[in-house]
Amino acid sequence: MKIDVAELLDRMSVELQKNITAEARENTVFVGVHTGGVWIAQHLHNRLANPFPVGELNIAFYRDDFSRIGLHPTVEPSKLPFDVNNRHLILVDDILYTGRTVRAAMNEIFDYGRPSSITLVALVERGGRELPIKADIVGTRLNLAASEHVKLFGPDHLRLELCEAKT
Amino acid sequence: MNQLDEQERLKHFLTIEGLSRALLTEVLDTAERFSPVGERAVKNVPLLRGKTVVNLFFEPSTRTRTTFELAAKRLSADIINLNIAASATTKGESLTDTLRTLEAMQCDMFVVRHQNSGAAAFIAKKVAPHISVINAGDGRYQHPTQAMLDMFTIRRVKQNFNDLIVAIVGDITHSRVARSEIQALSTLGVAEIRVVGPKTLIPDKIEALGAQVFNDIETGIAGADVVIMLRLQQERMNSPLLPSAQEYFQSYGLTEQRLKLADKNAIVMHPGPINRGIEIDSAVADGPQSVILNQVVHGIAVRMAVMSLVIGAHAAGTN
C-alpha cells in the first residue's frame, strides 16, 4: 500500500489550523493515544508550533475488554502534563476503527478534568464503526474488510502497512 | 498450592517463593503504570468495575487493610471489610462455611491476613475456581505485597538492583516481611543481602536463602545502600529472647550516628508501624534518608497492580 504519511500530515495540519479558532489557539493542547496516536500528535503539534507538551494516553485501564482478556501488557503510563480543565483538546489516534479506543480515551480524559472541547483527529478511518464516534479531521479513509488490518509503523519514517489480520 | 495458571500468570498472590524475576518485574512495571493515577483529580480507574473484593482479616491490621481497601476502590471494585476475629468464627461458624457464604455473595477476590503460616494458601485451595486470593500476611511465612512495595520503593530510588547491598535489621525469625523480602531481593539479583540482629532472633539456615548473618549492627549496615528496619513486636519485648526494649535500642536501634556507617545515599525503610526509640530513632525515621512514607504511598499502586493482574488472569482464563 502506497500512502505518503507525511503528505497526509501536511493536509491534516492545514485543516486543523483552520479548525482552531484564533481565540482557542493559546488554550489548545494535543493528546495522543499510545502508541501510534502519540507519534501523529507529535508531528501535528510540531507543524502547528503548539506551546504545550504533547499529552500521552495509555487507555489500558479503561478498555472495555478487561473482563474478557485481562490486563494489556504495556509499558508507558498516561501523561497529561498540563491542566485539562477549560482547554481545547485535540485527541489524536492513528487508526479509527470500532470507536472503542476513543470512548475509553474520552473516559480517561474526563478523570483528569473537564476540557472545553475535544476535537478528534485520526490518520486513518478504516470503517467498521461499532460506536457513534467519528473523527473531525481524517488523513485518509480506507474501506477495509474485517479480515484486513492496517498498522502504523514508526516513530521514525512513519509508514502504513496493510496486512491480513491474525485469526 | 500453585499460584500460577498454565500460562504462568498469577491467578493468586500467595508467596514470593518460586516466582521468576520476569514476573516480579511485571508486578513492579504494572505498579509503575498505576502510580500516576493517585495524583489525578479523579483517583480511580474503571478496571475492576463490578468486581467484589473481600478483606478477610483474621488478625488486626490498619495500614495493610487500608491500603488494600484504597487500592480496590481506586480500581472501582466494591470492597467489604470482614474482621473475622470479631465476627462469624466467634459464633462458631467454621472457616469453610464462612468462605461458602462469601462465595454465594458473588465475590471475586479474598485478601487474607491470618496469624497462621500457610492460611492464605489453604484458603486458595478451598475457594471456588473463579476466586483469586491475595496473601496480606500469614503467620511467620509470607507478606508478599509488602515485599513488592519495598522492591518498588528501592527501584524508584536506586533504579536497579544489581549493585545493591541491602541490610535487614531486627527480628528476622518472626518476620514474614523479612522472609518475603529476602526471596524477592535474591530473585531480583541484588549484590548482597545481610540480616542483622541478635542470635536469638535470627533463624538457623537463613544463609540458605542467600543472606549473610551479622550480629553487630555497625558492621551489618556498613556500606549498605538500603537499610530495612523491622518492627520489634510487643510480645517479643517481654520474652526471654531479649533483655529489654531499652537494651535492644542500645544494641540494634538505628540512630543518626549509626546510619553514617551506611552508604551516604542509603535509604531507610520500615514496614510500619514504627516503635520510635526501640528499633529506630525518631531523628532517622523522620530524617532525609527515610522513605517510610513513600512506602505507604507505593503500597497502594503495588496492590492495585497485584489485584488487576490476578483478576485479569482469571478473566483471560475463562475465555
CB B228 within 8 A of CB B167: yes
Please give the pLDDT value at position B314: 82
Host domain of residue A51? 5-164
Q: Which fold has domain B144-296?
A: Rossmann fold (3.40.50)
pLDDT at B60: 86
If you measure CA to CA, which chain B residue comes closest to A109?
B42
pTM, full prediction: 0.90
**Position with higher pLDDT, A146 vs B85:** A146
How many domains does one find in chain A?
1
Quick check: B42 and A112 CB within 8 A?
A: yes
Here the CATH number for the domain that contains residue A136 is 3.40.50.2020
Mean pLDDT for the stretch of residues B285-307: 97
Report the percent of chain B where pLDDT is more than 70.
97
Instruction: Give the SS3 label for residue B114.
Output: strand
**Tens-digit pLDDT profile for residues B174-217:** 999 999 999 999 999 999 999 999 999 999 989 999 999 999 99
Looking at the predicted structure, is the pLDDT value of residue B317 above 70?
A: no
Q: Please measure the distance between the N-terminal and C-terminal CA atoms of chain A and give it in whole angstroms.
A: 21
Please state the domain extents for chain B. 3-142+297-318, 144-296
Write the single-letter amino acid at B88. A
List of chain B residues whose C-beta atoms are within 8 Å of the C-beta of residue A62: 45-47
Residue of B8, B10, B30, B306 best to disrupt the A interface, most CBs of A under 10 A? B30
- What pLDDT score does B319 carry? 44
Give Rg (Cα) of chain A: 15
CATH code of B3-142+297-318, in short, is 3.40.50.1370
Contact pairs from chain A to chain B, CB under 8 Å: 59
Q: Are B234 and B192 in contact (CB under 8 A)?
A: no
Give the span between the Cα atoms of B15 and A134, in whole angstroms. Answer: 48
pLDDT score of A25:
79
CA-based nearest residue in chain A for residue B44: A111
CA distance B103 to chain A (A): 19
User: Residue B318: is its pLDDT beyond 80?
Assistant: no
**pLDDT of B172 over the 90 cut:** yes
pLDDT tens string B25-61: 999 999 999 999 988 889 999 999 999 999 999 988 8
Query: pLDDT-derived band of residue A111, with 50, 70 and 90 as boundaries?
Result: very high
Is the model's pLDDT at A77 over the cut of 60? yes
> Residue A72 to residues A67, A153, B26, B312: CA-CA distances in angstroms?
11, 20, 12, 9
Q: Cell numbers 500476611 label which residue?
A: B137
Helix (H) or strand (E) holding B95: helix B95-104
Q: What is the nearest CA distance from A10 to chain B, expressed in angstroms?
A: 34
Q: In this prediction, does ipTM exceed 0.85?
A: no
**How high is the pLDDT of residue B171?**
94
pLDDT tens-digit map of A5-35: 999 999 999 999 998 877 787 899 999 999 9
Nearest by CB to residue B41, choosing from A78, A79, A113, is: A113
